[in-house]
Homo-oligomer: A and B are copies of this chain.
């Protein structure tokens, strides 16, 4: 499918206008825009402006509140529970991370479980807020149920990402930001659009047989946990996903497991909720709560150098440090612009019509 490059600023302005038309405050619109554009810049196209229409549809269904009263409902010096008041996860999660960072500044670490929220974009955005303050950042969220636990054919869990981010010295931060399923849903969507098969071990059909057809997900199939099958540790992927679900939702009072509300507006949330909205879990630990920052950073630099120089399987492929591909994409796209596939451009321009804002122009 054809794709077109747009400058970052063009997409920022467009996205900001949409959020303003949805009734977000100027501050919230700019923040939500930043989360989406940062995702596109970092090469995670599935979580950027391609999702904008999804947020609009949820708002139209009154499942997103664009003027939320986000508040702390319970706290100790190092922990808090936050009610997102059905707000955009894109603004609720940064609010929660700020609380975590403030607590870390006072007592060394801060941990915030969030209920009554919505999809929060890329986990890495939030974890990096801590890294900028010389803290270690943690970010997790539960999500629409698409993944079956080992031994089951039922969609019980989201792709439930875990993110851990660490500040380095002369190198960029180390950022582990990963779905706990074998493949992220975005990769399935790319294969679906391209009518390509996917590796065995990403999905199963409705009866639990391994399938290479990405469309099986529409026929009652499910994504598989990281590890793919029991022999290769799918029970570990399930365990990690369960951890995300419990820290994000059981701990905060959000909906967990199959009760997590779906991101797509055409699917109604379960009629028997066990909590409120989606859940997140965010954390920040001051590096100097453990050792001097410069010592930690110089050792993490050494760690990075040693792993980059690990003996390769083949001569031309070094070890990739977690976070490196996103950084390369960000550097490149800051210069060349952000490629948007034609179907997403059309989608965005329909939004422009709906809201009476300026359409994106495709350069001839």
Q: Chain B nearest CB: distance from A304 CB in Å? A: 10
A164/B78 in contact, CB under 8 A? no
Contact of A285 among B79, B176, B306 (CB under 8 A): B79
**Size of A's binding interface in residues, CB under 8 A:** 89
What's the nearest-Cβ distance from chain B to residue A241, in Å? 10
Q: Is A151 a contact partner of B246 (Cβ separation < 8 A)?
A: no
A78 to B240, CA, bound (A): 25
CA of A257 to CA of B286, assembled, Å = 22
Bound CA–CA A111/B313 (angstroms): 37
Tell me the smallest distance from the CB of A299 to a CB of chain B, in Å. 5
Q: Which residues of B contact A182 (CB under 8 A)?
A: 227, 232-233
Does residue A61 face the partner (Cβ distance < 8 Å to B)?
A: no
**In the complex, chain B residues whose CB is within 8 Å of the CB of A252:** 290-291
Do the beta carbons of B79 and A178 come within 8 Å of each other? no
Determine whether A302 belongs to the interface, using a CB cutoff of 8 Å to chain B.
yes
Which residues A314-359 have CB closer than 8 A to chain B? Answer: 314, 317-320, 322
Apart from A226-B226, A235-B320, A253-B295, 18 more pairs, CB < 8 Å: A75-B108, A76-B108, A78-B289, A81-B290, A107-B107, A108-B111, A150-B320, A152-B311, A152-B319, A176-B243, A180-B236, A201-B231, A208-B314, A226-B233, A250-B300, A252-B291, A253-B299, A256-B303
What would be 16 A-B contacts, judged by CB atoms less than 8 Å apart? A77-B78, A79-B109, A149-B310, A151-B318, A152-B311, A152-B319, A156-B306, A162-B240, A164-B243, A164-B246, A166-B246, A199-B232, A202-B232, A235-B322, A257-B307, A275-B299
